[in-house]
């Protein structure tokens, strides 16, 4: 059974204080790993897809990296508008392509 | 700006009543997912359609939940009869055809359901 564990559950940062969110996964052959951002009262919004170990993707202050067992979402010099819940999901190779989501990390960035 | 739309956005009903939630996927997308999100369980997959055919509904309580896609522009999720434990936010997501594309899901704004 595919499993996704995100840590920490909650993270409070000061504006400008860089940090990383972790997504550990167990899957029988990874097809893709996804990062989403979810703001309160809204649906998750797609950020990145990573397909193979060593791959990195960046978007503004966010950079996602992938190894064979985990993914990190690095946040550089965060701003209050980066406050949100960040969700990680994995998709196994073959089969129905149904993603398995983690519980998310709630990030609060204080000004 | 193509978006997934969901109606209603909020629904308050009494236990035992039928609830119908609707979703309009992004035009051209051929996969539709229904999720339920609660504080306790996080995001749970309820049903998955590809090309309007149901491929997986193992996460859905069969005795009271049903999901359909009458056509490519409409997906429905029904609960009958509803129970207080069904209170949650229900999300619909759609995705583009798999060939040559990422398996990105585009989520709608959700329907917040409260069953009293």
User: Rounded to a whole number, what is the distance in Å from the CA of A105 to chain B's nearest CA?
Assistant: 11
Does the distance separating the beta carbons of B102 and A45 come in below 8 Å?
A: no
3-state percent breakdown (helix, strand, coil) of chain B, nearest 5: 5, 55, 45
* Selected residues 12-51 of chain B with any CB under 8 Å from a CB in chain A: 31, 33, 42-43, 45, 48
What region, left, alpha or beta, does residue B9 occupy, with left being phi > 0 and alpha being psi -120 to 50 degrees?
Answer: alpha
How far apart CA B102 and CA B94 sit, in angstroms, is 12
Q: Give the pLDDT confidence of A11-65 residue by residue, as tens digits.
A: 999 999 999 999 999 988 888 999 999 999 999 999 999 999 999 999 999 999 9
In tens, the pLDDT along B11-64 reads 999 999 999 999 999 999 989 999 999 988 889 899 989 899 988 888 888 899
pLDDT digits (tens, 9 = 90+) for A79-91: 999 999 999 999 8
pLDDT (tens digit, 9 = 90+) per residue, B69-85?
Answer: 999 999 999 999 999 99
């Amino acid at each position: 059974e595919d499993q996704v564990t995100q840590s920490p559950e909650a993270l409070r940062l000061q504006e400008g204080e860089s940090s990383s969110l972790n997504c550990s996964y167990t899957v029988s052959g990874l097809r893709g790993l996804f990062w989403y951002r979810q703001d309160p009262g809204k649906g998750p919004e797609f950020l990145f897809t990573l397909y193979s170990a060593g791959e990195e993707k960046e978007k503004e202050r966010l950079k996602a990296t992938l190894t064979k067992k985990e993914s990190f979402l690095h946040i550089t010099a965060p701003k209050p508008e980066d406050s949100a819940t960040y969700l990680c999901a994995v998709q196994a190779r073959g089969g129905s392509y149904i993603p398995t989501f983690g519980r998310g990390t709630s990030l609060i960035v204080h000004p | 700006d193509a978006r997934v739309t969901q109606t209603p956005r909020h629904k308050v009903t009494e236990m035992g009543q039928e609830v119908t939630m609707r979703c309009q996927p992004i035009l051209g997308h051929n996969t539709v997912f229904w999720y339920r999100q609660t504080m306790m369980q996080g995001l749970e997959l309820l049903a998955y359609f590809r090309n309007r055919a149901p491929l997986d509904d193992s996460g859905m309580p069969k005795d009271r939940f049903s999901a359909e896609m009458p056509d490519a522009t409409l997906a429905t999720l029904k609960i009958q009869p509803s129970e207080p434990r069904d209170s949650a936010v229900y999300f619909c997501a759609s995705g583009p055809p798999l060939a040559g594309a990422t398996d990105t899901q585009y989520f709608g704004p959700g329907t917040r359901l409260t069953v009293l």
